[in-house]
Amino acid sequence: MCFYRSSFIDQLSTPCYIVSTDVLCENFQNIRAKADRVGLSLLLAMKGFPLAKAFPFIKSYVDGISASGLFEAKLGSKLGKEVHVHTPAYKKEDAEEIAAYCSHIVLNAPHQLEVFSHVATSKNEFALRLNPEVSVVNESVYNPCAPYSRFGLTKGMLSAVDSRFFEKISGFHVHALCGSSSKDCNNLISAVLENFSDYLPSVSWINLGGGQALLEDDFDFADFAENLDILHLKYHLKTYIEPCEYLVMDAGFLLTTVLDVVHNGKDIAILDTSISCHALDVLKNYYQLPVIYPQAGEKGYSYLLAGNSCLSGDVFGEYSFSAPLKPGDKIVFGDMGSYSFAQMNYFNGINYPDICFYSEKNGFQQIKSFDYMNYEALYD
């Protein structure tokens, strides 16, 4: 996909998030086919890609969405399919709307069922989040099963739950993965079977969470097919996963413009974007985005690409190009599909990027733009 070769790119306002609907559909179709072969139901995790404008492209490939709270649930309901919600705790004043919008409500603790006691209807299915106590994520900040985790009940905690509670739920939810391999997925399911097999006959479905590296070359569904068969054939459980990152992998880009070039020991190109505002996940995880245009690599002209905020660490990294950069040049970053616009903010009053769709058939389509009035409405 070479949208950046189109002359129209010079007419786009920057900064601008660009979503390739061609790549998006290809990813969803690919993962849907793989999930179908092993009997998995597929949910889109809204937390990383809350773009309802994309729903028409992906609707046929997913069974619903997974929300982390009321706002995501309401937006996700526009898909017109199942709406699952899970959060560490629920506000009583949100309960009625959550019950109205959500088909599946995951409780973080049994007593949270009381929050919904007067608003739940027959359309609501309740579930309980479990902590399988299997840590396959090295970074503690992303490990739901780290010591003292607030997420779900361990085997020991579950044994103290009144047996009558299980008559009120129809599912379980676990989440322990982050960019994890198929072998890690198998370890997760093994832990579920080892720790919670006594409780599985009491429910009809289980959500294995997200974090599966579904499109990596070494990810093989066969690695956990046997354990999935146990969930399906022995316990007759409908089994969900709720990925995000790999559903939108290689589908998102950030188009930006060079505003100025300065020199302080190294050449520094200052861009009309900001890591802290528009690529926060990069700042939090200390990785470097790929530049896909102009072509970067071992070239003759090296630059630090820097954001336009007051944050000293607002630097995308050092890149080399075959020609000098100058004000007005366009830079396109890749790997900006998930956790990009989901985390954009108005730090320093820097405007939100526009959001555009791109397809080979239809070219560019601007779907969102922002101006000062959006900023003022938020803070005035």
The confidence score (pLDDT) of residue 1 equals 57
Q: Is the pLDDT of residue 6 over 70?
A: no
pLDDT at 103: 98
Q: How many domains does the chain have?
A: 2
Looking at residue 373, what is its pLDDT? 97
What are residue 91's DSSP bridge partners? none
pLDDT tens sequence across 103-160: 999 999 999 999 999 999 999 999 999 999 998 888 888 999 999 999 999 999 999 9
**Whole-model pTM?**
0.95
Reported as half-sphere exposure (CB side, CA atoms, 13 A), residue 107 has a value of 22
Q: Could you give the count of Cα atoms lying within 13 Å of 90 in the half-sphere of its Cβ?
A: 27
Residue 65 lies in a domain: yes
CATH number at residue 166: 3.20.20.10
247 part of a folded domain: no
Domain closes at, from 222, 241, 260 = 241
Q: Give me the mean pLDDT over the 79-102 stretch.
A: 98
Q: Is 4 left (phi over 0), alpha (psi -120 to 50) or beta?
A: alpha
Amino acid (one-letter) located at 64: G
- The answer to whether residue 25 sits within a structural domain is no
Check: CB of residue 341 under 8 Å from CB of residue 49. no
3-state SS track over the chain:
CCHHHCHHHHHCCCCEEEEEHHHHHHHHHHHHHHHHHCCEEEEEECCCCCCHHHHHHHHHHCCEEEECCHHHHHHHHHHCCEEEEECCCCCHHHHHHHHHHCCEEEECCHHHHHHHCCCCCCCCEEEEEECCCCCCCCCHHHCCCCCCCCCCECHHHHCCCCHHHHHHCCEEECCCCCCECHHHHHHHHHHHHHHHCCCHHHCCEEECCCCECCCCCCCCHHHHHHHHHHHHHHCCCEEEECCCCCCCCCCEEEEEEEEEEEECCCEEEEECCCHHHHCHHHHHHCCCCCEEECCCCCCCEEEEEECCCCCCCCEEEEEEECCCCCCCCEEEECCCCCCCHHHCCCHHHCCCCEEEEEECCCEEEEEECCCHHHHHHHHC
Q: How many residues does the chain have?
A: 380
Same domain, 257 and 287: yes
194 and 262 belong to one structural domain? no
**Of the residues 213, 241, 269, which one is the last residue of a structural domain?**
241
Q: Note whether 230 and 348 are same-domain residues.
A: no
Q: Does some domain include residue 310?
A: yes
Reported as a single tens digit per residue, the pLDDT across 251-265 is 999 999 999 999 999
How far is residue 9's CA from residue 293's CA, in Å, rounded to a whole number? 11
Residue 357: pLDDT above 70? Answer: yes
- Residues 126, 229, single domain; the answer is yes
Whether the per-residue pLDDT at 243 is higher than 80: the answer is yes
* Interval 336-347: pLDDT, tens: 999 999 999 999
Q: 247, exposed or middle or buried, with CB in 10 Å at 0-12, 13-18, 19+?
A: buried
Q: Are residues 55 and 8 in the same domain?
A: no
- The distance in angstroms from the start CA to the end CA of the chain is 42
Q: Is 84 a domain residue?
A: yes
Instruction: Find the CATH number of the domain harbouring 280.
Output: 2.40.37.10
Q: Is residue 81 part of a domain?
A: yes
Q: Are 212 and 178 in contact (CB under 8 A)?
A: no
Percent of the chain with pLDDT over 70: 99
Same domain, residue pair 137 and 231: yes
Residue whose token pair is 């093989």: 220
Q: Which residue has the higher pLDDT, 1 or 13?
A: 13
Q: Is residue 28 part of a domain?
A: no
CA distance 288 to 308: 17
Distance between CA 86 and CA 73 in Å, rounded?
10
What's the CA gap between 17 and 4, in Å, rounded?
Answer: 13
- pLDDT, mean of residues 80-88: 98
Q: Are residues 63 and 195 in the same domain?
A: yes
**Using CA atoms, how far apart are residues 295 and 298, in angstroms rounded to an integer?**
10
Mean predicted confidence (pLDDT) in 36-58: 97
Which of 181, 215, 241 is where one domain is finished? 241
Cβ neighbours of 138 (radius 10 Å):
8
> Which residues span the domain enclosing 232?
38-241
- Considering the domain architecture, whether residues 61 and 207 belong to the same structural domain is answered as yes
Q: Poorest-confidence range of 234-243, 294-303, 350-359, 366-375?
A: 294-303
How many alpha carbons fall within 13 Å on the CB side of residue 303?
Answer: 23
Q: How far apart are CA 234 and CA 228, in angstroms?
A: 10
Specify whether 188 is located in the same domain as 123: yes
For Cα atoms 191, 62, 207, give the angle at the middle one, nearest 5 degrees.
20
Are 96 and 190 in the same domain? yes
Residue 31 lies in a domain: no
Query: Quick one: 61 and 192 in the same domain?
Result: yes
Closest C-alpha among 258, 265, 272, 285 to residue 343:
285
pLDDT at 263: 98
Q: Are strands 291-293 and 330-333 parallel, antiparallel or unpaired?
A: antiparallel
* Residues 163-190: tens digit of each pLDDT: 999 999 999 999 999 999 999 999 999 9
Q: Could you tell me which residues are beta bridge partners of residue 315? A: 306
350 lies in the same domain as 215: no
